[in-house]
Structure 1
Amino acid sequence: MTGRLEQRYCIKFCQKQSDSQVETIRKIQTAFGDDAMGITQIKEWYNRFKDSCTSVESEPREPRSGRPSTCRNDQVIAQVNAVVMRNRRVTIREITEEVGISTFSSHIPL
């Protein structure tokens, strides 16, 4: 990760020196060789610095939509087990409605 940070400082320096994107890409590839960022990443960082961004740190990513990664944790498993223990003939649909999880997640092995 340190190498990426160093490269961002170099990109920032090149942009401040009025180097073009092509010159910056060439310099980064020459200096870092096989460890160099991809061309697209270099262009993105170059444009960030050109647009007055001063930080070389990555911004935290927004959480993605869709199924939360925490749907199969110990708490959910315990809730499913509790529903099943109350009624061994409970259906998957009843489990999903009571616990509030997807049909796929309700197929937790006991």
Structure 2
Amino acid sequence: MQSGRQDTLEARYAIKFCVKLGKNATQTYEQLQTAYGLTCISRASVFRWHKKLKGGKVSVRDDERCGRVREVRTQELVGKIRTFMDEDRRVSIETISEQFQVIVGTVHKMIQDEMNKRKICPKGTQ
């Protein structure tokens, strides 16, 4: 099989084909192992997709997932953070993260990349 996402999609089409031929999950897995060898998808994946496709699922693609929006680095959010930082210049990244419900690493990258700011830690004299 190829590498990455394409190989699992190809295997799912093969599973769908076996389901239409009336093969059970074990037979399907054995045929995939014969065809793809060591690069075959796992037995658990074959059984899971066989069950889904036999149960009436039509598409071999993954369903949409719920959760947090992928892109949080919007100009609107950058503007809000900039305003928040202008009000209190000593605010921490953790405080900003909690205030806007964004991961600390994302806040840090926005401050560096979008606002061209970085923490300056001068060396103390002794």
**Same structural fold, with TM-score higher than 0.5 when normalized by the shorter chain:** yes
Partner of 1:17 in structure 2? 21
Partner of 1:41 in structure 2? 45
Unaligned segments of structure 1, at least 5 residues: none
Give the CA deviation at 1:9: 1.8
Runs of 4+ in 1 over 6 A off after TM superposition: none
Partner of 1:76 in structure 2? 77
Q: What's the % identity of the aligned pairs?
A: 25
Query: AA paired with 2:11?
Result: Q
Between the aligned partners of 1:104 and 1:19, the Cα distance in structure 2 is 47
Q: How many residues align?
A: 102
Partner of 1:62 in structure 2? 66
Query: AA paired with 1:101?
Result: F
Between the aligned partners of 1:70 and 1:43, the Cα distance in structure 2 is 34
Unaligned segments of structure 2, at least 5 residues: 118-126
Over aligned residue pairs, what C-alpha RMSD do you find? 3.2
Cα distance change, pair 84–60 in 1 and its aligned pair in 2 (3 A): closer
Between the aligned partners of 1:12 and 1:103, the Cα distance in structure 2 is 40
- Give the TM-score, by structure 2 length: 0.58
Cα distance change, pair 4–84 in 1 and its aligned pair in 2 (3 A): closer
